[in-house]
Amino acid sequence: MSTTGNGEVGEPLPTGDLFLRLDRSGRIPLYYQIAEIIEAAIADGTLPTGIRLENEVSLGERLGISRPTIRRAIQELVNKGLLVRRRGIGTQVVQRPVTRKFELSGLYDDLLRGSRNPTTDLLVREVVPADAETAKILSVPEGVDVLHLRRLRYADGVPLAVLENSLPIEFASIADDDLRTRGLYGVLQGRGTQISVAYQQVGARGATAEEGRLLGIPEGAAVLTMERTAYNNDGRAVEFGRHCYRPDLYSFEMTLVNS
Amino acid sequence: MSTTGNGEVGEPLPTGDLFLRLDRSGRIPLYYQIAEIIEAAIADGTLPTGIRLENEVSLGERLGISRPTIRRAIQELVNKGLLVRRRGIGTQVVQRPVTRKFELSGLYDDLLRGSRNPTTDLLVREVVPADAETAKILSVPEGVDVLHLRRLRYADGVPLAVLENSLPIEFASIADDDLRTRGLYGVLQGRGTQISVAYQQVGARGATAEEGRLLGIPEGAAVLTMERTAYNNDGRAVEFGRHCYRPDLYSFEMTLVNS
DNA sequence: GAGTGGTCTAGACCACCGG
DNA sequence: CGGTGGTCTAGACCACTCA
C-alpha cells in the first residue's frame, strides 16, 4: 500500500483504489484516462483541496505505467489549473472554489453545459460580397461572396445575445433548421469541419437601438462584446463572429496558468 | 540539406539555418530554445503563414535532438495557437493576423508590452476585517484582517482602469511607492511570491458615479469588468481583484486551442 | 505503401527543496 | 542527504492520410 503525506503526516490515501479502471487496449490514451480519474477524484472530494499527490515515480510503478505517461496526465491537469507542481516539493491540488473551465466551444454548448436551455432565432441569412475587413479576416479576395448570419440566442427563453457571423461561401449550404436548433460549431462539426484554434477579443460598449430592442435593454446600456476568428485544423479561417451579450446574463470565465 | 514541401513542391527551406544557436550546456531547456527559434521565424516571416513544417523525425535527426524533445517544442507552439498538427499530414503554421497572446500577467506588464506608459494612483490602502465573501475567496476566517487596495491605473496619462484588490495580511508590508511605480504582480514577484494559476471572469456593466468620475466617462456608461483570484505555487489564494476598465481603451485578447 | 503525427516505454541525469 | 519534479534520450508500435 502506498502513502501520500500531506506535509505533516503520512496517511494512507484512497488513491490506491482509484486506478482500477484503466483500459490498456482501448482507443482512449492512458494519460487521458489517468487525468480523468484524478480530475473526478478532485471533483468529488476524494482528493481534497490542498492535498499532496503521490509522487510521479511511485505512482507510475504502482500502476505499471511509465513516468512520462504519468507526467503527461498530471500536466493536463496542471494546464487546466487543477494541480500545481513544485520541484523538490511535490504536486498539490489547487485550493480554490469550483469553477468551470474555459474551453474552445460555442455559446450554445456553453449554455447546454450550464443547463440553460438554448434556443435561436435566425434573423438574417444572406450571401453577400465580402467587405474589405471580412475579406482580410477570412483570407478571401474582397468582393467574393460570403455567408452572413445574424442570430438571436436565448437562454431559458430570455434573449441573451445577438450573434453576427461571416463564413466562407462553401458553408452557404448550411440548412436554416440546423442554425435554429444547434450551435454554429455543432453544425460545422457535423459537416466535418473541426475548429482547432480561435482568437478572440472581449470588450464592452453601449447597446445600439436595435440591439437594445432585441435584448430587451435600453439603448446605450452596457453590453459585453466578443469578436472571434476561428480556424480549421488546416489553419484556414472558417468563421468570423461579432457578438454582443446581455452582461447581467452572461460573462466569460477563464483559467490562466503560468507557463 | 533538408527540404520541407508546402504541399505542392519540395523546396529547400531556410529552416536549415535557424538552429545554429542551440546551447546545450546552458540553463535554458532545449525544447524552449527550439520553440523560441520557431516562434521568431514565424513572427519575422521566415516561416510564412500556412507553410508546412519539416516533420518531427527528420528535424530531430538533423539537429541531433530526440523526437520527444522536438515534439515538446512544437507542442508549446500548438498551445499558443501558432501551429496546427494533423496526423498523417504534418504541422502547419496557422494562417492568421498577428495577435498578441493572452498570458497570466497583470495589467501593468500588459501595458508595458504594448508600449503604453502605465502609471498608478494609490487611492486607498487600508487593513480591514475581511467580509464574508473576501474571507471565503482568500481562505481566511471571516473578520480576519486583510489588505485592501484601490488604485487608478493610467495608460499614457489617460485613466484606464479602477483596480480594487484584497490580499492576505502578510502582504500588508508592501510599500506605497512599490504600488505606485510597479504592477501588483511585479511587487508580489519581488517578494518571492510567484503566481501560478488564476481564475478570472470578464463581464460588463454600467459605471457607478465614482467610477465615471475617475475614468472620465458618464455615470451608467459601459465599463468592462474583470474579477480575478490568483493562487500561489503552493495553491493558496494570494490575491482577489475586482477591476473595471474603460472599454474604448482596453479589451481582453485570448487564444483558444482545441485540446 | 510511404509518410506523418499520437502514444508509450525504460531508463538517465539534473535542479531544487527540505530536514 | 534523500525526495521531488524538470529535462532528455533512443528506441517502439500504432492510427491516420494521401497517392
Decide if A103 and B194 are in contact by the 8 Å CB cutoff: no
**Chain B residue with minimal CA distance to A244?**
B204
Work out the percent of chain A whose per-residue pLDDT is above 90.
46
Exposed / middle / buried, residue B167 (Cβ in 10 Å: 0-12, 13-18, 19+) = buried
Read off the pLDDT band of A1 (50, 70, 90): very low
Asked whether the predicted pLDDT for residue B3 surpasses 70, the reply is no
The pLDDT value given to residue B10: 34
**Paired sense of beta strands A252-257 and A237-245, if any:** unpaired
Residue with minimal CA–C1' distance to C2 is B88
Decide if B97 and A222 are in contact by the 8 Å CB cutoff: no
Residues B199/B205/B207/B211 CA torsion (nearest 10 deg): 0
Grid coordinates belonging to B167: 490580499
- The CB density around residue B96, as the number of other CB atoms within 10 Å, is 21
Decide if A251 and B223 are in contact by the 8 Å CB cutoff: no
The pLDDT value given to residue A186: 87
Tell me the CB-side half-sphere exposure of residue A210, using CA atoms within 13 A: 7
Using CB atoms, which residue from B96, B237, B248 is nearest to A231? B96
Integer Cα distance of A239 and A188 in angstroms: 10
Read off the pLDDT band of B6 (50, 70, 90): very low
CATH 1.10.150.120 fits B14-93, yes or no: no
Mean predicted lDDT score pLDDT of chain A: 85
Integer Cα distance of B35 and B189 in angstroms: 25
The pLDDT value given to residue B109: 82
Q: What is the DSSP string of B14-31?
A: GGGGTTTT--SSSSS-HH
Asked whether the predicted pLDDT for residue B9 surpasses 60, the reply is no
What distance in Å separates residue B14's CA from the closest CA in chain A? 21
Q: Does A96 touch chain B (CB under 8 A)?
A: yes
Superfamily of domain B107-245: Chorismate lyase-like (3.40.1410.10)
**Chain A residue with minimal CA distance to B251?**
A203
The pLDDT value given to residue B18: 64
Among candidate residues A18, A17, A11, A22, the one with its CA nearest the CA of residue A52: A11
Q: What is the DSSP string of chain A?
A: --B---SS---B-GGGGTTTT--SSSSS-HHHHHHHHHHHHHHTTSS-TTPBPPPHHHHHHHHT--HHHHHHHHHHHHHTTSEEEETTTEEEE----------S--HHHHHHHTT--EEEEEEEEEEEE--HHHHHHHT--TT-EEEEEEEEEEETTEEEEEEEEEEEGGGTT--HHHHHHS-HHHHHHHTT--EEEEEEEEEEEEPPHHHHHHHTS-TT-EEEEEEEEEEETTS-EEEEEEEEE-TTT--EEEEEE--
Q: Which of B92, B102, B196 to mutate to test the interface with A (most CBs of A within 10 A)?
A: B196
Integer Cα distance of A90 and B54 in angstroms: 37
Contacts of A103 (CB under 8 A, 6+ apart): B256
Distances in Å between the Cα of A37 and the Cα atoms of A42, A77, B170 are 9, 11, 36
Q: Does A66 touch chain B (CB under 8 A)?
A: no
Decide if B247 and A223 are in contact by the 8 Å CB cutoff: no
Asked whether the predicted pLDDT for residue A173 surpasses 60, the reply is yes
Decide if A197 and B255 are in contact by the 8 Å CB cutoff: yes
Integer Cα distance of A29 and A69 in angstroms: 9
The pLDDT value given to residue B98: 56
Report whether A56 contacts A18 (CB < 8 A).
no
Residue with minimal CA–C1' distance to D4 is A88
Q: Which of B256, B257, B259 to mutate to test the interface with A (most CBs of A within 10 A)?
A: B256
* Residues A15-66 pLDDT 10s: 555 666 778 877 889 999 999 999 999 888 888 888 888 899 888 888 889 9
Q: Cell 474604448 appears where?
A: B248
Among B residues 2-41, those touching chain A with beta carbons less than 8 Å apart: none
List chain A residues with CB under 8 Å of B203: 224, 247, 250-252
Q: List chain B domain ranges.
A: 14-93, 107-245
The pLDDT value given to residue A19: 65
The pLDDT value given to residue B102: 61
Report whether A140 contacts A146 (CB < 8 A).
yes
Q: Strand ranges (DSSP E) for B140-191?
A: 145-155, 158-168
